[in-house]
């Protein structure tokens, strides 16, 4: 099964997101070289448009989570 490529502009992040996904009839597997990967269970018999939109949503969530993780302040430990 060849992965489908996705590329779209996320307005809330203000950046272009790129990745790929595979749909095996049971789950959508989304991956991005920058933001990681995630699988989301999904039942069979859904339209291709729905698969595309769900893949975009998952990639957007990965990017938002990565941005939040980067925004957390770093704490410094004192040397003993």
pLDDT of the residue at 78 = 59
Burial-class residue 28 by CB neighbours within 10 Å (0-12, 13-18, 19+): buried
What is the number of domains present in the chain?
A: 1
For the segment 36-47, what is each residue's pLDDT rounded down to a tens digit?
Answer: 999 999 876 578
| 16 falls within a domain | yes
Confirm whether 45 is domain-assigned: yes
Query: Do residues 55 and 6 make contact, with C-beta atoms less than 8 angstroms apart?
Result: yes
Domain hosting 11: range is 4-71
Q: Are 40 and 54 in contact (CB under 8 A)?
A: yes
Q: 27 lies in a domain?
A: yes
Domain assignment present for residue 79? The answer is no
The answer to whether residue 80 is domain-embedded is no
- pLDDT tens-digit readout, 9-55: 999 999 999 999 998 888 899 999 989 999 999 876 578 888 888 89
């Amino acid at each position: 099964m060849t992965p489908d490529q996705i590329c779209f502009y996320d307005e809330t992040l203000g950046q272009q997101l790129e990745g790929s996904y595979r749909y095996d009839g049971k789950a959508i597997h989304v991956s991005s070289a920058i933001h990681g990967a995630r699988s989301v269970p999904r039942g069979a018999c859904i339209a291709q448009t729905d698969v595309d939109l769900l893949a975009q949503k998952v990639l957007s969530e990965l990017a938002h989570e990565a941005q939040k993780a980067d925004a957390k302040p770093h704490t410094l430990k004192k040397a003993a």
